[in-house]
Amino acid sequence: MTPDNGGYATAAYALAALVYLGYIVSLKLRERRLRQRLAQLASPARPVPHTPEGA
């Protein structure tokens, strides 16, 4: 008789997806943070735009 162990397969597929997705998100966050930092360093210092008081 075929055993009823579908829960284990579902759990394995869910955990694998969690590991892969977690890694993808961590890579994308690292990439975005580095790009932002590089863009900050690369851009020339811009003067703060003057806005009249009360505007």
CB of 17 to another protein, least distance (A): 7
Of 25, 48, 28, 26, residue with least CA distance to 36: 28
Q: Which is nearer to another protein, 39 or 48 (CB)?
A: 39
Q: Which is nearer to another protein, 32 or 49 (CB)?
A: 32
Distance CA 44, CA 35 (A): 16
Distance CA 48, CA 29 (A): 28
Interaction site with another protein (CB under 8 A)? 2-6, 8-13, 15-17, 19-20, 23-24, 27-28, 30-32, 34-35, 37-39, 41-44
